[in-house]
């Protein structure tokens, strides 16, 4: 708070964020009628007893992201990375704490808006509109999107329903639609791992372009190489808690030691913390 | 890997909460996913109007895209529906006695009722059935129930085309009063959208409601004079308390059905409509439309939670 460097402009601030999922129909009575009745009758006082389970996906996470940063989110499966990303995008409500953002961060992805029974062409429009583009913007970029996806490389596939596409083709089209929009704060969830090698190369290049035009990029990935290539800072989440926050190399070295990847050295856990934590200081 | 089970030590120094809030305030950052003010919400919704239209059309066309007859089903489905009701109520139960132009009367009722019924039904699932969309993209959530209603409106327009053919086939003359169908439909659409938004919020919180709705709606249908004339029923039961008639006739579904019959069928006279029918129709539309919108907006930030 004391030394406020004017150059670093924060774009995303997470302040003690807790995220909790509530799942119906689990626990003791499972789906039985009595359990359900119990749930309805005693909804306030005995959520847990009545079979509503709470999953504490993210616990007390705080960080400040600045303009121009590319931040990787790593952690083992189920550590809350994607959940945190959705909360930053404002798509999942937080239980405690706050997430402040500059503008509207957007998640890279339109899968949910597309419909398999429609042609690729109509899906380009539908996906674009769902992301908040105008019809003119989509028209302008239509050729670019189709060319980039490479759907028409093997004939006129864009006028066929998406259900006729191979899974690789569909994934490529989805990525192309999603990557067609410019974003202030861009959130990418393992989007790099789609398509064949050729397409992956193109999509990585596209991500780099997006990074340039975007203020801040968050990338969730299990591929340490793509994290190394794209990110200069890494947040490590483990069981919902922020375990480490620092320059990519420092955190990845720790993470790889932790997961047993590329066994470098036996985890000297407490030591590198001092060097790796400097980034979280609020400027 | 045994380390995984350890509670990881927190390494990042957590800055004091006030600091972060102050920092956010200093740089003009806003809370992510916070509910916008009502005027702002309306503005954003309007900005997404093309998405709403495209989404409803896309859903409509994808509905029958696997069928061999394709879009013909848009017209066939309502016609078959009407045929079933005619068989049961017109032929078997004999409700048609004393109702002139019974088939146009029945078909209009069925189509108009179906519009309200399916709007409310799909509204109930608007949020809970599109959880993936809600959790992936950012847009005013009211776009979903509205888009569902728009889809039903488009479906109704197909039905209306079939209805015109039926009307002409049964010798109902073309009249200027047919134009009244337009304001009647607009009012009904507003009413339906409002109801859909109310049910969308309820259904998002309690998905069980979608199991219950078909029964509620069926009860409502039988009370709305879809296949029988409310007026006839009342004249047959003189012993009923006097408030029953006005209540049955003020039922929004009955109001919109009767307005449409009045607009389209020459033998359905203004005297069969309740007093101040347009005022009642507008009142219901405004009450449901505005009330439903505000009710839906109030929970905007909670949609998408598990």
> What number is the average pLDDT over the span A228-241?
87
Assess contact for B198 and B212: CB atoms under 8 A.
no
Chain Cα centroid distance, residue B12: 51
Is A15 near chain B, with CB under 8 Å?
A: yes
The band of A283, judged by pLDDT with boundaries at 50, 70 and 90, is: very low
pLDDT in tens, A15-27: 888 888 877 665 5
Within 8 A of A267 by CB-CB distance, chain B residues are: 3
Is B182 near chain A, with CB under 8 Å?
A: no
The band of A39, judged by pLDDT with boundaries at 50, 70 and 90, is: low
Q: Which of A23, A64, A111 sits opposite B23 (nearest CB)?
A: A64
Q: CA–CA separation, B124 vs A22, rounded Å?
A: 20
Q: What are the φ and ψ backbone dihedral angles of A79, each rounded to 5 degrees?
A: -95, 0
pLDDT of residue A267: 43
| Residues paired with A238 in a beta bridge | A241
> What number is the average pLDDT over the span A118-126?
90
Q: Is the pLDDT of residue A280 over 50?
A: no
Assess contact for B54 and A125: CB atoms under 8 A.
yes
ipTM of the complex: 0.78
Question: What is the residue-averaged pLDDT of chain A?
Answer: 77
Establish how many alpha carbons lie within 13 A of residue A188's alpha carbon, considering only the half-sphere containing its beta carbon.
35
Q: Which of A29-43, A143-157, B191-205 has the lowest mean pLDDT?
A: A29-43
Count of CB atoms within 10 A of residue B72's CB?
Answer: 12
Is B8 near chain A, with CB under 8 Å?
A: yes
Is B24 near chain A, with CB under 8 Å?
A: yes
Per the CB < 8 Å rule, is B130 touching A9?
Answer: no
Q: CA–CA separation, B116 vs B260, rounded Å?
A: 13
Distance from CA of B79 to the nearest CA of A (A): 25
pLDDT in tens, A45-54: 555 555 677 8
Q: CA–CA separation, B287 vs B284, rounded Å?
A: 5
Q: Is the pLDDT of residue A279 over 80?
A: no
pLDDT of residue A36: 66
pLDDT of residue B16: 55
Is A253 near chain B, with CB under 8 Å?
A: no
Per the CB < 8 Å rule, is B17 touching A118?
Answer: no
Is A186 near chain B, with CB under 8 Å?
A: no
Per the CB < 8 Å rule, is B31 touching A273?
Answer: no
Distance from CA of A242 to the nearest CA of B (A): 7
More confident residue, A8 or A135: A135
Within 8 A of B65 by CB-CB distance, chain A residues are: 117-118, 161
Is A60 near chain B, with CB under 8 Å?
A: yes
pLDDT of residue B305: 65
Q: CA–CA separation, A150 vs A278, rounded Å?
A: 43
DSSP B8-59: PPP-SPPPPHHHHHHHHHHTT-EETTPPPPHHHHHHHHHHTHHHHHHHHHHH
Q: Which of A170, A181, A104, A171 is nearest to A138 (CA)?
A: A181
Per the CB < 8 Å rule, is B133 touching A113?
Answer: yes
Q: A96-101 and B30-31 as β-strands: parallel, antiparallel, unpaired?
A: antiparallel
Distance from CA of A188 to the nearest CA of B (A): 11
In chain A, positions 127-146, which contact chain B (CB-CB < 8 Å)?
Answer: 129-132, 134-135
pLDDT of residue B70: 77
Per the CB < 8 Å rule, is B55 touching A102?
Answer: no
Nearest chain A alpha carbon to B50: A129
pLDDT of residue A191: 59
Low-confidence ranges of chain B (pLDDT < 70): 1-18, 305-306
Sheet arrangement for strand A53-66: A106-108, A185-189, A216-220, A70-74, A233-238, A241-247, A53-66, A10-23, A96-101, B30-31
Q: Which of A115, A259, A283 sits opposite B58 (nearest CB)?
A: A115
Q: Is the pLDDT of residue A281 over 50?
A: no
Assess contact for A88 and A99: CB atoms under 8 A.
yes
Which residues contact residue B225 at a Cβ distance below 8 angstroms, ignoring those fewer than 6 apart?
B109, B233, B248, B254, B257, B258
Q: What are the φ and ψ backbone dihedral angles of B96, each rounded to 5 degrees?
A: -75, -10
More confident residue, A230 or A59: A59
More confident residue, B178 or A273: B178
Could you identify the residue written with the tokens 């998002």?
B204
Q: CA–CA separation, A15 vs A235, rounded Å?
A: 15
Nearest chain B alpha carbon to A85: B136
Count of CB atoms within 10 A of residue B80's CB?
Answer: 11
> What number is the average pLDDT over the span A134-160?
87
pLDDT of residue A207: 76
Nearest chain A alpha carbon to B9: A243
Distance from CA of B42 to the nearest CA of A (A): 15
pLDDT of residue B252: 93
pLDDT of residue B289: 95
Q: A96-101 and A70-74 as β-strands: parallel, antiparallel, unpaired?
A: unpaired
Distance from CA of A223 to the nearest CA of B (A): 19
pLDDT of residue A3: 44
């Amino acid at each position: 708070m004391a030394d406020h460097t004017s150059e670093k402009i924060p774009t995303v601030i997470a302040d003690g964020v807790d995220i909790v999922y509530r799942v119906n129909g689990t626990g003791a009575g499972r789906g039985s009628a009595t359990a359900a009745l119990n749930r309805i009758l005693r909804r306030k006082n005995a959520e847990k007893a009545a079979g509503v389970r709470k999953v504490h996906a993210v616990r007390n996470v705080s960080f400040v992201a600045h303009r121009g940063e590319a931040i990787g989110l790593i952690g083992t499966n189920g550590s809350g990375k994607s959940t945190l990303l959705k909360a930053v995008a404002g798509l999942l409500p937080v239980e405690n704490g706050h997430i402040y953002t500059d503008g509207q961060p957007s998640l890279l992805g339109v899968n949910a808006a597309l419909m398999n029974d429609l042609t690729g062409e109509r899906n380009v429009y539908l996906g674009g509109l769902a992301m908040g583009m105008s019809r003119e913007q989509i028209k302008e970029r239509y050729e670019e999107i189709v060319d980039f996806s490479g759907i028409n490389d093997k004939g006129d596939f864009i006028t066929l329903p998406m259900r006729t596409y191979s899974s690789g083709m569909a994934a490529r089209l989805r990525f192309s639609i999603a990557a067609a929009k410019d974003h202030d704060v861009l959130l990418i969830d393992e989007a790099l791992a789609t398509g064949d090698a050729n397409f992956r190369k193109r999509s990585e290049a596209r991500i780099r372009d997006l990074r340039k035009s975007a203020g801040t990029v968050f990338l969730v990935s299990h591929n340490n190489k793509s994290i190394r290539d794209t990110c200069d800072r890494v947040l490590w989440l483990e069981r919902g808690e922020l375990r480490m926050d620092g320059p990519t190399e420092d955190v990845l070295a720790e993470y790889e030691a932790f997961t047993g990847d590329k066994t470098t050295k036996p985890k000297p856990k407490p030591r590198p913390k001092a060097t790796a934590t400097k980034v979280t200081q609020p400027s | 890997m045994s380390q995984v089970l350890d509670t990881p030590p927190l390494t990042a120094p957590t800055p004091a909460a006030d600091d972060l809030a102050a920092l956010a305030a200093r740089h003009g950052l806003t809370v992510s996913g916070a509910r916008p003010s009502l005027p702002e919400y309306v503005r954003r919704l309007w900005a997404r109007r093309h998405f709403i239209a495209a989404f409803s059309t896309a859903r409509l066309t994808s509905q029958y895209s696997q069928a061999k007859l394709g879009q013909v089903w848009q017209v066939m489905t309502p016609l078959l529906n009407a045929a079933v009701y005619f068989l049961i109520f017109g032929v078997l139960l004999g409700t048609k006695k004393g109702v002139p132009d019974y088939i146009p009367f029945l078909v209009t009722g069925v189509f108009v009722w179906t519009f309200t019924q399916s709007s409310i039904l799909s509204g109930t699932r608007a949020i809970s059935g599109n959880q993936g969309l809600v959790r992936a993209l950012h847009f005013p959530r009211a776009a979903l129930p509205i888009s569902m209603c728009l889809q039903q409106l488009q479906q109704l327009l197909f039905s209306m085309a079939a209805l015109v053919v039926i009307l002409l086939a049964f010798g109902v003359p073309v009249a200027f009063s047919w134009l009244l169908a337009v304001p009647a439909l607009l009012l009904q659409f507003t009413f339906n959208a409002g109801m859909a938004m109310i049910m969308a919020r309820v259904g998002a919180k309690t998905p069980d409601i979608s199991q219950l709705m078909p029964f509620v709606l069926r009860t409502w249908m039988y009370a709305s004079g879809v296949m029988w004339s409310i007026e006839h029923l009342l004249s047959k039961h003189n012993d009923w308390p006097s408030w029953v008639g006005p209540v049955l006739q003020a039922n929004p579904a009955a109001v919109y059905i009767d307005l449409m019959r009045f607009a389209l069928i020459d033998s359905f006279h203004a005297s069969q409509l309740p007093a101040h029918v347009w005022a009642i129709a507008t009142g219901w539309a405004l009450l449901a439309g505005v009330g439903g919108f505000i009710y839906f907006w109030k929970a905007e930030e909670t949609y998408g939670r598990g």
